[in-house]
A and B are shown apart, each in its own frame.
Chain A
């Protein structure tokens, strides 16, 4: 039954690891702005799509 010591220490270590991640997240300012990231997240795709379209456009321009 002394395995309980190992199990408990593992569980506490995991919990502390998560806790440290939380502290780091707060420290990095993640909780200061709760809105902008939610919008920023949606940009990535638009940007890629747009830039390929643009490059096609410029190519056709060159053909003319």
Chain B
């Protein structure tokens, strides 16, 4: 196989490779790309990575809509008389060669002045001169070299994205102040009553004071805002004691240096804010290449070809499609609205929507639903509805898509914070009232010291570091979770709902042949007959059969809706429905079947099966003791028997569920107090994924599209779902243990505080020590947990 690989894309070349410059290529497309590169001195492309390319796609008029100035204006991020800047998403970007070639685009088109790749996001930002070239030419150039950009309706409607870097700034300010204040406060830790120090300490202290100002008023502002919001909603969230601690630290330190009572706690103050922000930064793990917010707009095209009354073609934005418009759908184009097929043979791929991998054959007069992709010839359809009112897109008008899941759920840190805050305030009051009697001069000192030392830095860090680390570990194991909130919700799940098609079943088909075996000659004819047909079933069957030599058939005829007829050297083959090949229909078979007869003699049939993913049965057997399991399918119940055999008896099987039915079903279960995990894949699950407490999208290739969800799981890891659930619950245990840890530190600190001996140096040691040991503890524990996962 090794030496039979295409030099450009690495695919096997088959029996007839194309030779060019002592290299072999699988198709003319790949050869053309190589020619383009070698003419322009760009063959380093192949040195960086072996066979990095992709077969260029045939595009023709697909990008005609880019001629329209209004659409170009929406897509570009900058436009003036000459210069235009555009950022294009290119799914094929996967290696260093890709970066190299895309950043050398100016060698292929001199009007391109600059192009910069963001590998993580798989985007390229191109600056070009609009006088000499156009966006359309740029897109065509990219497509020609195998880097076809993906332009969807989402690009059209989205406004300019603003990157929020404020956390990095805040972290920078806090870190800067923390470091400098540490240096300035060091002398006073150890040299007490030294002559020079006495001389200059005021200068040092006021310097520290000024350095701490941006920390309190800029870096820590989120904590004040959040605490204020919490108090207004009558919630004692974790930010309340933090904000209280910061305020007291700052006021007490300022008063201390003002009246020369001490050196103040500026070092602890800036350290505290710095550590808290590090925790915040750490839990903010993002997967640039994944998007958890997709709706149908990410799948739908921007423009579509409309056929006017006078038979001229015009490209119009999809939002302008009106009922009754006649539209042209080409090969690989998506049907944007519900419509009726007027002309052409449809082979519609609904895998985006349902997860079903078989193409559905449609004939003129049939109704087509939006969301399917045409695979084959050109179609003409008449629109029945506009884009927003189509069967599928209507789902997004449900309220659930505008709701924020984060709200209305108390996380573990805030849950404990309520008790913590009350306890601390009580201790502070008791200690103060004791000192009011014992030594009134120390009362204020003790009150503030308690609030300072009890500032729950370690508690606030436990969850971010544990969950943040789990998030990264899960990411390495191909389970990508949107944020720490979703991870925490995952640990509380008690009901799991699975979609069937595309989730429990895999996208690869398998067939079995029943009947009299075909001889080699018949097989050869069969394969070549299927090759000539564009019917979806022929295509699937063709791909599943072993490859044979290519022959030219003597006779070939396709009968729409019935089957194919062909002959070669005395073998007459009929492939198609039972009636067509002359066999009475068998009623018992519910699967999709292709019958075959040779020389009018019935041979047998190929039956297509949905393959269940590896380990599904084992997964259910491990899960059913702890969780309520439900399979929710949009299909009819032909698979019921199979599923019952495969899955534990307690599993509920529910069929014929429309997208909104799924959503309502989950809503109903939640109203009964269940915490529901939804596992789905297609756009038709989008509602259920949004409604559920945690929605996991299963994806065969995480780089391609999955609907909006809380987590994306690589399909090959589905059978590990139970261990991920187990690990997420263990993570909660780790957090509880680290709470115990930080209480231990608090008790030590409180001893100093209550007895009135809290020196700045003790606070400066205790606070970083507790924070760092919590970080170490959670990191070590989560990593140990992972060892058990594998």
Residues of chain A touching chain B, judged by Cβ–Cβ distance below 8 Å, are 1, 4-5, 8, 11-12, 15, 19, 22-23, 26-27, 29, 31-36, 39-40, 42-43, 46-47, 50-51, 54
B513 at the interface (CB under 8 A from A): no
B119 at the interface (CB under 8 A from A): yes
- For residue A31, which residues in chain B have a CB less than 8 angstroms away from its CB? 165, 168
A61 to B775, CA, bound (A): 64
Task: Please judge, given known A-B contacts A19-B176, A23-B169, whether A43 and B41 are in contact too, CB under 8 Å.
Answer: no
B120 at the interface (CB under 8 A from A): yes
Enumerate B199-221 residues with CB–CB distance to A below 8 Å.
199-200, 203, 207
**Are B165's CB and A42's CB within 8 A?**
no
Determine the residue in chain A with the shortest Cβ distance to B42. A50
A54 to B43, CA, bound (A): 9
**Are A26's CB and B165's CB within 8 A?**
yes
Residue from B99, B165, B169, B183 in contact with A36 in the complex, judged by beta carbons closer than 8 Å:
B99
**Are B172's CB and A26's CB within 8 A?**
yes
A47 to B116, CA, bound (A): 16
A11 to B176, CA, bound (A): 13
**Are A5's CB and B47's CB within 8 A?**
no
- Chain B contact patch, size range: 20 to 34
A13 to chain B, nearest CB (A): 12
**Are A42's CB and B41's CB within 8 A?**
no
**Are A1's CB and B172's CB within 8 A?**
no
**Are B203's CB and A5's CB within 8 A?**
yes
**Are A46's CB and B168's CB within 8 A?**
no
A31 to B121, CA, bound (A): 13
Task: Please judge, given known A-B contacts A33-B119, A42-B96, whether A50 and B44 are in contact too, CB under 8 Å.
Answer: yes
**Are A33's CB and B118's CB within 8 A?**
yes
Enumerate B570-628 residues with CB–CB distance to A below 8 Å.
none
A35 to chain B, nearest CB (A): 5
**Are B172's CB and A43's CB within 8 A?**
no
A27 to B180, CA, bound (A): 23
**Chain B residues touching A, majority SS:** helix
A22 to B173, CA, bound (A): 10
**Are A1's CB and B199's CB within 8 A?**
yes
**Are B176's CB and A15's CB within 8 A?**
yes
Task: Please judge, given known A-B contacts A26-B165, A36-B117, whether A12 and B207 are in contact too, CB under 8 Å.
Answer: yes
- For residue B41, which residues in chain A have a CB less than 8 angstroms away from its CB? 50-51, 54
**Are B207's CB and A34's CB within 8 A?**
no
Enumerate B117-171 residues with CB–CB distance to A below 8 Å.
117-121, 163, 165, 168-169
Query: Which 6 pairs show the lowest CB-CB distances between chains A and B?
Result: A36-B119, A50-B44, A33-B118, A54-B41, A39-B96, A19-B176
B256 at the interface (CB under 8 A from A): no
Determine the residue in chain A with the shortest Cβ distance to B118. A33
Task: Please judge, given known A-B contacts A32-B163, A40-B103, A43-B100, whether A50 and B47 are in contact too, CB under 8 Å.
Answer: yes
A44 to chain B, nearest CB (A): 11
A39 to chain B, nearest CB (A): 5
**Are A46's CB and B47's CB within 8 A?**
yes
B475 to chain A, nearest CB (A): 14
Q: Quick one: which of A12, A36, A47 has the most chain B CB within 10 A? A: A36
Determine the residue in chain B with the shortest Cβ distance to A47. B44
B437 at the interface (CB under 8 A from A): no
- For residue A12, which residues in chain B have a CB less than 8 angstroms away from its CB? 180, 207
**Are A4's CB and B200's CB within 8 A?**
yes
Task: Please judge, given known A-B contacts A26-B168, A46-B47, A54-B41, whether A39 and B99 are in contact too, CB under 8 Å.
Answer: yes
A56 to chain B, nearest CB (A): 12
- For residue B96, which residues in chain A have a CB less than 8 angstroms away from its CB? 39, 42-43
- For residue B207, which residues in chain A have a CB less than 8 angstroms away from its CB? 8, 12
